[in-house]
Amino acid sequence: MQFILNGKTVKIDPVDPTQTLNDYLREDAGLTGTKICCGIAVCRACTVAVQDSPGLTPEPTRSCITPLVALEGKSITTVEGLAKGGELHPLQKAFLENFSFQCGYSGPGFLMASYCLLDRLRLKPISKDDVEGAIQDAVGQHICRCTGYVRYHNAIRQVILQTPGLTI
């Protein structure tokens, strides 16, 4: 099978039909930024961004329940793929500035879900009044055992409001 991982083409042969995307990322690709916690689709710590085809917005995807074989031809972005040219992504900077995380375990999931939200807003900007609801829709089901919810929301709101073209 073949897919794109953080901008690079990956070919795998043979493919283990029982392997999850999370196991592949962490154990085979060495990308341990994507976390594993509940393993049963509840906490969303394992969220990555998956784009079905070029031009479509990436969707937040729980890697713990996604079989690797389901990624044929798709493009996956993990937290390791966010920084470009040594520069952190604006969301990463905002998470740091707002002290959004403590242990950090939930951070990559929050990052990748909000990364997908930014991409959606680029195509379909929303009014400033709707920002809070959009953030809640994007990350409201993510669990942070360190209870950094307010600071995560603050950081995401800051990036949305400061990035031209995301709000109208």
Binding site for ligand FES (CB under 6 A): 36-39, 41-46, 62, 64, 101-106, 144-146, 148
In whole angstroms, the minimum distance from the beta carbon of 11 to ligand FES comes to 26
Residue 51 dihedral angles phi and psi, to the nearest 5°: -105, 120
Question: Could you tell me which residues are beta bridge partners of residue 8?
Answer: 5
In whole angstroms, the minimum distance from the beta carbon of 41 to ligand FES comes to 5
In whole angstroms, the minimum distance from the beta carbon of 61 to ligand FES comes to 10
Q: Which of 36, 69 has the CB closer to ligand FES?
A: 36
In whole angstroms, the minimum distance from the beta carbon of 47 to ligand FES comes to 7
Amino acid identity for residue 50 in this structure? V
Q: Which of 29, 36 has the CB closer to ligand FES?
A: 36
- Provide CB contacts within 8 A for 97, sequence distance 6+: 155, 158
In whole angstroms, the minimum distance from the beta carbon of 38 to ligand FES comes to 3
In angstroms, rounded to a whole number, what is the distance separating the alpha carbons of residues 113 and 120?
Answer: 11
Q: Which of 87, 137 has the CB closer to ligand FES?
A: 137
Question: Could you tell me which residues are beta bridge partners of residue 67?
Answer: 20
Q: Which of 64, 121 has the CB closer to ligand FES?
A: 64
Q: Which of 21, 117 has the CB closer to ligand FES?
A: 21
DSSP assignment of 144-161 equals -TT--HHHHHHHHHHHHH
